[in-house]
């Protein structure tokens, strides 16, 4: 029976279920099923976030924890909470970070990108010099539109 369950889980792509089903306490079958499937969903969500973070190609993973907003100047229409939620992404707006070296622009951009990945959205991290170089190369090769699609779609 255990091997049959293993095969069924494999065929149905429920890999996490097989790892937790014996550990889930229950009094009623629906309680058991709810707990196991919730665990599977959680595992899949975490896997998706890991994949999105890898595809984003951050140089380092940074979060808002410990970030000081003291040196950050925002327009009146933008709040720190909006940056933390990366709500500009939903509105299909851009965020441009300007400032001298060492003021935390990369940290802030990465933290916003990580938060966006946690929301299940695709992100691609570029340093400005890298992006300009890529765009110039594509422009001179005559396929800038192709690169624009890659930038937009990840």
The answer to whether 125 and 106 have CB atoms below 8 angstroms apart is no
User: What is the average pLDDT value for the chain, to the nearest integer?
Assistant: 85
**pLDDT at position 95 over 70:** yes
Q: What was the pLDDT predicted at 151?
A: 61
> Treating both helix axes as pointing N-terminal to C-terminal, what angle do 144-153 and 128-141 enclose, rounded to 10 degrees?
140
The answer to whether 120 and 52 have CB atoms below 8 angstroms apart is yes
**pLDDT at position 146 over 60:** yes
- The stretch 12-37 carries a mean pLDDT of 79
Rg (CA), the chain: 21
Structure tokens at 98: 């300007």
* pTM for the structure as a whole: 0.74
Q: Where are the domains of the chain?
A: 2-56, 125-154
- The stretch 40-57 carries a mean pLDDT of 94
Report CA-CA distances (Å) from 117 to 45, 47, 51, 99, 128: 11, 11, 9, 25, 20
Q: What was the pLDDT predicted at 153?
A: 57
**pLDDT at position 40 over 90:** no
- The stretch 88-113 carries a mean pLDDT of 88
User: Does 57 or 7 have the greater pLDDT score?
Assistant: 57
**pLDDT at position 128 over 70:** yes
Q: What was the pLDDT predicted at 152?
A: 56
DSSP secondary structure of 89-119: HHTT--------TTSSHHHHHHHHHHHHHHT
Distance in angstroms (rounded) separating the CA atoms of residues 71 and 98 = 11
> Treating both helix axes as pointing N-terminal to C-terminal, what angle do 105-118 and 29-56 enclose, rounded to 10 degrees?
150
**pLDDT at position 114 over 90:** yes
Q: What was the pLDDT predicted at 12?
A: 83
């Amino acid at each position: 029976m255990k091997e049959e369950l293993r095969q069924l889980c494999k065929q149905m792509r429920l890999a996490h279920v097989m790892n937790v089903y014996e550990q889930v306490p229950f009094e009623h079958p629906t309680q058991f099923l709810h707990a196991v499937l919730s665990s599977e969903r959680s595992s899949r969500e975490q896997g998706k976030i890991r994949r999105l973070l890898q595809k984003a190609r951050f140089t380092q993973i940074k979060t808002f924890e410990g970030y000081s907003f003291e040196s950050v100047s925002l327009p009146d229409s933008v709040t720190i909470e909006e940056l933390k939620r990366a709500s500009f992404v939903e509105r299909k707006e851009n965020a441009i970070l300007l400032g001298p070296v060492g003021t935390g622009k990369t940290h802030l951009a990465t933290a916003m990108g990580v938060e966006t990945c946690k929301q299940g959205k695709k992100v691609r991290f570029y340093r400005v010099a890298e992006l300009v170089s890529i765009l110039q190369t594509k422009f001179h090769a005559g396929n800038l539109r192709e690169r624009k699609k890659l930038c937009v779609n990840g």
